[in-house]
Amino acid sequence: MARAFVLVLDSLGVGALPDAEGTGDEGAHTLDHLVEANGGLDAPRLVELGLGCIEGVASLPRPNSPAAAFGRCAERSPGKDTSTGHWEMMGCPLDFSFPVFPDGFGPEVLEPFIERAGLDGVLGNKAASGTEILKELGEAHIETGHPIVYTSADSVFQVACHEEHFGLERLYEICRTARELLDPLGVGRVIARPFIGSDGDWQRTYNRRDFSLLPPKETVLDRLAAAGQPVIGVGKIEDIYAGRGVTESIHTEGNLDGMARFTERAVDMEEGLLFINLVDFDMLYGHRRDATGYARALEVFDEQLRRFEEGLRPGDLVMLTADHGNDPTFLDGTDHTREYVPVLAYGPGLTPGLDLGTRSSFADMGATVEEHLGLTPAAPGSSFLKELNGIVA
């Protein structure tokens, strides 16, 4: 009756990957740079666990006896997006990059979308910041009723519509239509971006939905679910994996609500995987280049993590990590950064202070979870569970 808890601090990278120059991310370091920008970080639990002990991290103290095993993972897949990071983490690395659309979408995409969705037209159709495009086109959307379509450096088809004027369910409906049309092109995600407000005072809401391409291969989640293990996704986990392999989903409204629901669900969970994505780090702070907000969010998470840990039981495995970087001090854009991700792995009875080094793939984390929950981990991940259990080869 083993339990595993995976917490993804969305975008908390710990240094540029060796190939980051090819994506314009040379020198990125989300963690170090946000700490330096704020003159420190008041996150004592993350320090105790050993976040500052990870190779390449210079901004945090290194405790003499870290409470967790610590290390970092390189991304084997090309790309630096949410889907690529999460899929590789759970045993499905990619050998291709998703298509991107820096100049917007051509008529071969937009014309069938407009026709099949029953629209009169769309606005935007360019790469843009989600908040900036609302400032630019929010009023025109209200006046015309045309959805705002935009993209980013990721493989995304994003549709922004006002919840009251356009309708939330109608937004989801046209995004499902887009998903069907974009499957043959291999576009990673269609994202519904609802917002509210008036007269230029727009606020995006937590009713966002991601309509993902299916992972091209079986994942750890699929194998756990097939073996009868509960796989509980909190936040946008269900959306990232297109629902596959997730036996229960809990949608949330940001980090605070997410950690509260995560902690609550753990109380009566007897076995299986509880898996959360904490989206605010990326959505509210990384993309908006808000280093101060990012640091404050980490400090709040640090407090909530302690409360979650009060319910841990012998035999539990906890893993803290990220899916990519989003350095809030990069001033020439608002996109993700290609970085190593941290790994902090611990639990009652597991070996603390173990240096896991630099792992060759995010998939090592999924393999470790899979073995902890009683399955034989499949390639390509390499489990480090034996080391956590104090077994030396």
CATH number at residue 200: 3.30.70.1250
- The answer to whether 369 touches 6, Cβ cutoff 8 Å, is yes
**First and final C-alpha spacing in the chain:** 26
Is residue 231 domain-shared with residue 86, that is, in the same domain? yes
Residues 147 and 34 in one domain: no
Residue 72, number of CB atoms within 10 A of its CB: 22
Same domain, 307 and 225: yes
Provide the β-strand partners of residue 196: 203
The answer to whether 58 and 343 are in contact (CB under 8 A) is: no
b/e per residue 29-67 (b: at least 16 CB within 10 A): bbbbbbbeebeebebeebbbbbbbbbebbebbeebeebb
- Give, as one character, the DSSP assignment of residue 351: P
Number of continuous H segments (helices) and E segments (strands) in the chain: 13, 14
The C-alpha atoms of residue 70 and residue 357 are separated, in whole angstroms, by 7
Q: Is the pLDDT of residue 295 over 70?
A: yes
Question: Between β-strands 316-321 and 341-346, what pairing exists: parallel, antiparallel or unpaired?
Answer: antiparallel
Exposure of 110 in the CB half-sphere (CA atoms within 13 A): 20
Q: Which residues pair with 70 in a beta bridge?
A: 344, 355
pLDDT value at 280 more than 80:
yes
Mean pLDDT for the stretch of residues 35-55: 98
In this predicted structure, what is the pLDDT of residue 391?
A: 81
- Structural domain harbouring 276: 3-96+214-388
Mean pLDDT for the stretch of residues 273-296: 97
Same domain, 247 and 359: yes
Based on the fold, state whether residues 193 and 274 are members of the same structural domain: no
Q: What is the pLDDT of residues 326-354, one digit of tens each?
A: 999 997 778 899 999 999 999 999 999 99
Arithmetic mean of pLDDT, 100-118 = 96
Mean pLDDT, the chain, rounded, equals 96
Average pLDDT for residues 92-120, to the nearest whole number?
96
Q: Does any domain span residue 393?
A: no
The pLDDT of residue 110 is above 70: yes
pLDDT in tens, 158-206: 999 999 999 999 999 999 999 999 999 999 999 999 999 998 899 999 9
The two three-digit tokens of residue 284, written as one number: 């509210």
Average pLDDT over residues 381-388: 97
Q: Above 70 in pLDDT, residue 83? A: yes
Is 90 exceeded by the pLDDT of residue 379?
no
Q: Is the pLDDT of residue 370 over 80?
A: yes
**Which residues does 117 contact at the CB level (< 8 Å), separation at least 6?**
173, 174, 177, 178
6: nearest Cα among 90, 84, 71, 81:
90
Task: Give the separation between CA 229 and CA 365, rounded to whole angstroms.
Answer: 17
7 confidence band (pLDDT: 50, 70, 90): very high
Q: Would residue 195 count as lying in a domain? A: yes
Containing H/E element for 267? helix 254-267
Number of domains the chain contains? 2
The DSSP symbol for 179 reads: H
Of the residues 211, 232, 248, which one is the last residue of a structural domain? Answer: 211
- Residue 393, pLDDT > 70, answer no
Q: What is the mean pLDDT of residues 373-383?
A: 95
* pLDDT at site 333: 79
Q: How is residue 303 written in tokens?
A: 């407090």
Q: Read off the pLDDT band of 46 (50, 70, 90).
A: very high
Quick one: average pLDDT of 296-308?
Answer: 98
Name which residue leads in pLDDT, 28 or 154: 28
Determine the pLDDT at residue 316: 98
Q: Is 209 helix (H, G, I), strand (E, B) or coil?
A: strand
322 and 333 inside one domain: yes
Alpha carbons 346 and 309: distance in angstroms, whole number? 11
